[in-house]
Amino acid sequence: MASRRGAFRAVMAVVALCCLVGAGVLLWIGLNPAVTAGGAALLDLDGRPVVLDDVPDAAAADPVPTGGTFAAPRQGLEVPLVEMNVVRDVINPPTLTDAFLVRGFGSPREPGSGLVVVAMHAVRGGNAPGNAFFTMGATESPLTVEVGDPLVVDGVEFAVTGSQVLGKDAAASSDAVWGRPAERDGELVVITCLQRTWEWGSAADNLVIFAQRAG
């Protein structure tokens, strides 16, 4: 348990730096489903290439499949669950087809391990896991996630308790998101970008979903 608490402190120090560099806790992500000259692209859930604002450092993120999945049954989402590192103060998932369990926080299958953090990309003009939680183009009530919705992380069920839309700097420094992680056993935070059709470049906001272990 001592080593787990040490890991929490180290990760929180990294996250705190994100707001200083303006990167937010999350996410530099794609523009449109096309490849431009000199651009780098990843494939989305529909197999379409999406140009990236900032290419993920997959080697540093060290993605390792957990063998489990992340599922949002009401939203019709189920994708592989992969572990990853925070890289140079930013969580930038290295694929557009998976959900990522952030190392240094809790594990859904380890009671007593504290706050579980899952990150995933959403894209404009494409289909990534985070797109399941909002409707592109909606100007009012764009979110498709509601209190009570089930989320299943590596076979462990959580129930949504709320959500917030936060600017990236606000998300990076939010105590509601990152505060006291070692003390928040049974809690889950899911973070994605909230993409809007009228924006260009990186999304201005993150969508943060809060959930509690069911039962």
Tens of pLDDT along 157-194? Answer: 999 999 999 888 888 888 999 999 999 999 999 999 88
CA distances from 107 to 6, 50, 54, 117, 191 (A): 15, 30, 28, 9, 16
HSE-CB of 108 using CA atoms within 13 angstroms: 27
User: What domains does the chain contain, in order, with CATH numbers?
Assistant: 2-213 (2.40.260.10)
pTM: 0.82
Average pLDDT rounded to a whole number, residues 140-154:
93
| Pairing status of strand 187-194 against strand 64-72 | unpaired
pLDDT band at residue 42 under the 50/70/90 scheme: confident
Q: Give dist(CA 56, CA 129) in Å, integer.
A: 16
Which residue carries 């006291």 as its tokens?
A: 180
Tokens standing for residue 101: 């369990």
Q: How crowded is residue 85: how many other Cβ atoms within 10 Å of its Cβ? A: 18
